[in-house]
Amino acid sequence: MPLTIVKEGQLNIIKRVGGKEEIRKFLESLGFVAGSAVTVISQAGGNLIVNIKESRVAIGKDMASKIIV
Amino acid sequence: MSIKIALAGNPNCGKTTLFNMLTGSNQFVGNWPGVTVEKKEGRLKGHKDVIIIDLPGIYSLSPYTLEEVVTRNYLINESPDVIIDIVDGTNIERNLYLSTQLLELGIPVVMAVNMIDLVEKAGDKIHIDKLSGKLGCETVAVSALKGTGIREAVEKAIVAAQAKAVQTHVHTFTRNVETEIKAVEEKLGDNVERRQKRFFAIKLLEKDNKIAEGIKYPPNVSFEIKALEEAFDDDAESVITNERYVYISSVIGECVTKCRKEKLTASDKIDRIVTNRWLALPIFAAVMFMVYYFSMTTVGVWASDWANNGLFGEGWYLFGIWVPGIPVLLENMLNAVGCIEWLKSLIVDGIVAGVGSVLGFVPQMLVLFIFLGFLETCGYMARVAFIMDRIFRKFGLSGKSFIPMLIGTGCGVPGVMASRTIENDRDRKMTIMTTTFIPCGAKMPIIALISAAMFHNAGWVAPVAYFIGVAAIVLSGIVLKKTRMFAGDPAPFVMELPPYRMPTVGNVFRSMWERGCSFVKKAGTIILLASIVIWAGSHFGMGKDGFGFAMEMELEDSALGMVGKAIGWIFAPLGFGSIKTTIATMMGLAAKEEVVGVFGVLDFQSMSGPAAFSFMVFNLLCAPCFAAIGAIRREMNNAKWFWFAIGYQTGFAYFVSLCIYQLGGLFAGFGFGFGALAALFLCIVFLYLLFRPYKENSPLRLDRKRIAKAK
């Protein structure tokens, strides 16, 4: 399921990252790769703040919906 | 021979703090990713022959962001003698991703694991010796904040540089990948330096097309890429990325002992409130209101009033004792030494009045700078971008555009430069074009002057000026998005949020000092010069006995007046074609404060309400000062785009002012004329541009549909 509908505080494993190549590459360098653990810290209207590899990353709704866990 | 040490690492990992400590310089350190957008050089304290280079923070050596390109080009082309790779110990796993790439460059690397104090505080342990062995480079634990380990790191770096060793890579990929890397390395032949071969080979396999530009005869590696993709059933770059992360996990597993406690950190708890769906905007509005309320009305006004009426006016009371102001003191002094009349006039009426009228606003600005410095260092800035993204997206801008605008309220130059953190080229260009619409510190005096002189210091003038700035950005965003040049969605929002930190007093004052200093410097140079030019221009001219100098010169007859008259017709439709306002507007190009400076020298002329307002708005929105124009030119890096930006800003300002004066005049009873007709016509054209459908399939409508469904 897409990251946008994950419950806050739940630990999930990323299965796939979609979207345009450029952004996907950027996400990869931030640690969003298949197999990484990700936790949603807070969400506001689909925009998320997540914990990935111990750092906090804010992701807009359109991108978050392309991260499948 | 001198040694060059490059500092590289992730954004916001403490490079600049370390740079300041090593070089003793005073670079401002913010708490949001992307503070350093240009590389900076300094000399190591106590070692004149060691040069330290602070590079912009990056997550990877790929070429997707401007910072990455700057850093990568520097590392490849200038080959520093040694790299100090600064790693944030609190999220070491992500940081090591860059480290594995730095280690492939062939340049000796010393790794500095920073924020070790925070790691220990959290109860975790990083085994530095094991890490060093695993990665094959010298490793030192460092705390930039407490100042521990830094000396050791630099000493090791100097030793490594002097040894002139080539960094050997310890990490190997799986056999299939290594075979392809070897094959590409062989194809590269003598095209690149031997020690850089591995780096180039891997980047070529990652289909990094920018790397090929740096090679004289780039080899064709499509065969190797295909072999790799077939073997792994994935695209080549993902294969390599995944392998890196797998390797890093294995390193972390051995070298880091974590004390597991899956709890929300203090930062997370603050974020839950501050970025909350309902509370985020009210909190943000309250914060911004406080900032402007304190700097524009209370503290700032007391200070500026004292400076304007006391220090640069008649005088003031110090504990009940009357202290005369600088102009009074100076005049008395010049009278005492029997100064020639014209020189006295130049000094008192020209320089002191001109520069003084601008310097009077310094206290107000310093208060604003303190607040902005605080916002930047505590970590709220990155959250603001996140919060505003929801709204800005609807106008075709990314939330990241908001950081340049917020910084632009201090000064447009760093504001325009901060736009570099926006990766998407279209979004960045649009941000560069619109950032200076926000009233900067130097435009504050214009607002204050107009509101005091024309509107009896009404409280609504300043907020309305800011509102006009924001509205100009939003409307420009919508209109420009509908042109072919800017069509398309803004790039998706992705941004690292740094943990909140209590700003140190020193750092906040450093940011205030830096910005305040450049302002005062400007007063001492450009504004001083402009004041002299204006004084001279108003005292030279066609007098009774031909062209010459006269103490009492009618403005119309002076050189300044002639220039003003010659170009005044341009501004006549906007309601301020008079000589003084024309000169003020022209001088505003040198520095916006000079608009006020002109009125400081030449006394104020009566203007109607709509004309005064239109004058203010034009000066707020039109092309910024030379310094900011220069910044726009540098950031656009393209003559066509630069002129388009300047032209757009000035054209937009002209349009808005025309509407304000002509349509405002209708209400004030100036009658309906050709000007009003033109304004109405332009309004209709603008409304069409605003509401016509998008060129491409409408992202805005899609969004609305989605929102409707969600409800």
What pLDDT score was predicted for residue B707?
39
Tell me if chain B has a CB within 8 Å of the CB of A14: no
Picking from B228, B257, B286, the residue at the C-terminal end of a domain is: B257
Please name which of B268, B344, B673, B170 lies closest in space to residue B498, comparing C-alpha atoms. B268
Q: Does A68 touch chain B (CB under 8 A)?
A: no
Residues B401 and B500 in one domain: yes
pLDDT average, residue stretch B498-522: 83
| Separation of alpha carbons B161 and B298, rounded Å | 55
The mean-pLDDT minimum among B468-482, B548-562, B692-706 falls in B692-706
Quickly tell me which residue has 């030192």 as its tokens. Answer: B140
pLDDT value at B256 more than 60: yes
Verify whether the Cβ–Cβ distance A57 to B494 is below 8 Å.
yes
- Two tokens, residue B627: 């310094």
* Tokens, residue B5: 């040490």
pLDDT band at B37 (very low <50, low <70, confident <90, very high): low
A13 shares contact with chain B (CB less than 8 Å): no
B598 in the same domain as B558: yes
More confident residue, B67 or B90: B90
Q: Please tell me what DSSP assigns to residue B57.
A: P
Q: Is A56 on the interface with B (CB under 8 A)?
A: yes
Q: Which residue of A has its CA nearest to B273?
A: A42
Each residue's pLDDT tens digit, A20-46? 877 888 888 888 988 888 999 888 777
Cβ–Cβ below 8 Å for B271 and A25: no
Q: Is B169 a member of any domain?
A: no
In this structure, are B89 and B209 located in the same domain? no
Model confidence band, residue B701 (pLDDT cutoffs 50, 70, 90):
very low
Q: What percent of chain A has pLDDT over 70?
A: 100
- Cβ contact A30–B241 (<8 Å): no
Q: How far is CA B205 from CA A47, B187, B237, B278, B602, in A?
A: 34, 12, 7, 47, 67
Choose among A25, A31, A41: nearest Cβ to B271: A41
Quick check: helix, strand or coil at residue B465?
Answer: helix
Supply φ then ψ for residue B496, to 5 degrees. -75, 135
Please tell me if residue A7 touches chain B, with a CB cutoff of 8 Å. no
The pLDDT score that the predictor gives to residue B644 is 94
pLDDT tops 90 at residue B15 = no
Per-residue tokens: B542: 């066609």
Residue of A nearest to B11 (CA): A30
Question: d(Cα B672, Cα B361) in Å, to the nearest integer?
Answer: 39
Asked if residue B264 belongs to a domain, the reply is no
The full set of domains in chain A, from first to last, is 3-68 (2.30.30.90)
Q: Which of A27, A42, A53 sits opposite B494 (nearest CB)?
A: A27
Domain end call among B136, B163, B190: B163
B149 conformational bin, left if phi > 0, alpha if psi -120 to 50, beta if neither: left
CA-to-CA distance for B425 and B636, rounded, in angstroms?
10
Q: CA gyration radius for chain A?
A: 10
Looking at residues B316-335, what average pLDDT do you find?
A: 80
Residues B492, A41: C-beta atoms closer than 8 Å:
no
List pLDDT tens digits, range B64-87.
Answer: 777 788 888 889 888 899 999 999
Taking the CA of residue A29 and the nearest CA in chain B, the distance in Å comes to: 6
Interface of A with B in 16-55 (CB under 8 A): 19, 22-23, 25-31, 33-36, 39, 41-47, 49, 51-55
All residues at 6 or more sequence positions from B50 whose CB lies less than 8 Å from its CB, including other chains: B2, B3, B5, B43, B44, B154, B158
Contacts of B493 (CB under 8 A, 6+ apart): A47, A58, A59, A60, A63, B385, B386, B389, B393, B398, B399, B400
Adjacent-strand bridge partners of B257: B125
b/e burial code for range B481-497 (CB count within 10 A of at least 16 → b): bbeeebbbbbbbbbbbb
CATH number (domain holding residue B23): 3.40.50.300
Given a cut of 60, is residue B272 above it in pLDDT?
A: yes
Of A28, A35, A47, the CB nearest to B386: A47
User: Who among B93, B237, B238 is closest to A53 (CB)?
Assistant: B93
Same domain, B204 and B138: no
Number of Cβ within 10 Å of residue B677's Cβ equals 11
Mean residue pLDDT of chain A comes to 87
DSSP strand pairing (B315-318 vs B321-324):
antiparallel
On whether both B542 and B637 belong to a single domain, the answer is yes
Q: Is B233 buried (19+), middle (13-18) or exposed (0-12) by CB count in 10 A?
A: exposed
Do B539 and B508 lie in one domain? The reply is no
Give B90 to chain A, closest Cα distance, Å.
7
B471 lies in some domain = yes
pLDDT at A50: 92
H or E element that contains B528 = helix B526-539
Closest by CA position to B431, among listed B451, B404, B461, B458: B404
Torsion sign (Cα): B24, B28, B32, B35: negative
Instruction: Give the neighbor-by-neighbor strand order of the sheet with A47-52.
Output: A11-13, A37-44, A47-52, A55-59, B494-497
Q: pLDDT band at residue B704, thresholds of 50, 70 and 90?
A: very low
Is B269's pLDDT higher than 80? yes
Q: Is residue B709 predicted with pLDDT exceeding 70? A: no
pLDDT greater at residue A22 or residue B223: B223
Is there a single domain that holds both residue B370 and residue B358?
no
Helix then strand then coil, in percent of chain B rounded to 5, is: 65, 10, 30
Domain that holds residue B627: 525-691
Residues of A in contact with B267 (CB under 8 A): 56
> What does the mean pLDDT of chain B come to?
83
pLDDT band at B703 (very low <50, low <70, confident <90, very high): very low
B510 lies in the same domain as B530: no
Cβ neighbors of B113 (< 8 A, separation 6 or more) are B87, B89, B92, B119, B126, B128, B131, B139, B140, B141, B142
Among B272, B489, B496, beta carbon nearest to A30:
B496
Phi, psi of B194 (to 5 degrees): -60, -40
Of A11-15, B3-7, B374-378, least confident by mean pLDDT is: B374-378
Token reading at B568: 């005044």
Q: CB of A58 within 8 Å of any CB in chain B?
A: yes
CA distance B479 to B372: 30
Q: What is the ipTM of this complex?
A: 0.93
End-to-end Cα separation, chain A, in angstroms:
6
Higher pLDDT, B592 or B598: B592
Chain B residues touching A22 at Cβ < 8 A: 64, 423, 491
B578 lies in the same domain as B648: yes
Residues B51, B150, single domain; the answer is yes
Q: How many domains does chain B have?
A: 5
CB contact under 8 A, A30 and B59: yes
What average pLDDT does range B559-579 have in this prediction? 85
CA nearest B461: which of B450, B475, B453? B450
Do B667 and B619 reside in the same domain of the chain? yes
Report the CATH number that the domain containing residue B236 is assigned in CATH.
1.10.287.1770
Q: Is B382 in the same domain as B449?
A: yes
Burial (CB < 10 A; 0-12, 13-18, 19+), residue B213, is exposed
The structure's pTM equals: 0.78
For residue range B423-477, list pLDDT tens digits in order: 778 888 999 999 999 888 888 888 877 877 777 766 777 778 888 998 999 899 8
Compare all CA atoms of chain B with the CA of A8 and give the residue at the minimum distance. B272
